[in-house]
């Protein structure tokens, strides 16, 4: 494997009652900061050059924070849960055939699939993207780079409220994914997005509710 994958414990994620927007804003600012050097490199008359495979520029960090086998099983179940059919956005372009209910993405941006549900299939896709980029030679204006960060964790709650409902004696699995790529194949080519999924389980391990499935904001970065 060419892309680096880390399984070391990460800092605790935001509490379930906290809004994901501060984290999304911080991630977006980081992505824009990565793009800044590329802007300065694109001067009038410049030509693209060949960049050989460089795994150091294409990194994946995968972290599943589980205290025991039960928590590991809950994370696996949250990742395996199929996309919420009632949260599926219209495909872009509109699909002429029925959509497979396991399909986790609904459109493409710069040739990359964009998720509406953060599932194990989605994570595997972005891992494969990073690994493929790490093995490629690119002809670009600036050094290509990409980054995948994924974190899964489990928290127990005697009472947990979400989207107008309150659940008693539950465990909540939080899945967070952040993806960024900066390629500068043209004057503007780079994107960044984050996706979160919360899955609520009862004491017996049954899924009570899934939150987070739906459209994903995908800022296209100016490079």
190-201, strands of its sheet edge to edge: 58-65, 145-162, 165-182, 190-201, 207-211
Say yes or no to pLDDT of 11 above 50. Answer: no
**Confidence band for 139, pLDDT divided at 50, 70 and 90:** confident
**What does the mean pLDDT of the chain come to?**
83
Say yes or no to pLDDT of 177 above 80. Answer: yes
**Confidence band for 183, pLDDT divided at 50, 70 and 90:** confident
pTM: 0.79
Q: How many whole angstroms separate alpha carbon 72 and alpha carbon 194? A: 23
CA angle 102, 106, 109 (to 5 degrees): 135
Question: Higher confidence at residue 77 or residue 186?
Answer: 77
Bridge partners, residue 140, by sequence: 49
Q: What was the pLDDT predicted at 185?
A: 75
| Domain positions in the chain | 21-38+50-83+103-211
């Amino acid at each position: 494997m060419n892309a680096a994958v880390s399984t070391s414990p990460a800092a605790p994620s935001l509490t379930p009652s906290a809004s994901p927007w501060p984290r999304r804003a911080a991630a977006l600012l980081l992505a824009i900061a990565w793009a800044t050097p590329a802007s300065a490199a694109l001067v009038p008359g410049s030509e693209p050059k060949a960049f050989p495979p460089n795994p150091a520029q294409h990194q994946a960090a995968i972290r599943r924070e589980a205290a025991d086998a039960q928590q590991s099983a809950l994370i696996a179940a949250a990742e395996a849960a199929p996309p919420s059919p009632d949260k599926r956005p219209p495909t872009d372009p509109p699909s002429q055939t029925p959509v497979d209910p396991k399909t986790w993405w609904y459109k493409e941006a710069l040739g990359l699939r964009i998720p509406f549900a953060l599932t194990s299939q989605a994570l595997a896709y972005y891992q494969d993207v990073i690994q493929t980029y790490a093995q490629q030679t690119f002809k670009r204006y600036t050094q290509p780079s990409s980054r995948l960060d994924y974190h899964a964790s489990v928290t127990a709650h005697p009472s947990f409220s979400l989207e107008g409902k309150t659940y008693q004696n539950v465990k909540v699995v939080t899945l967070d994914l952040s993806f960024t790529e900066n390629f500068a194949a043209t004057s503007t080519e780079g994107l960044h997005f984050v996706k979160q999924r919360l899955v609520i389980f009862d004491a017996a391990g049954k899924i009570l509710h899934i939150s987070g499935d739906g459209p994903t904001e995908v800022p296209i970065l100016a490079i």
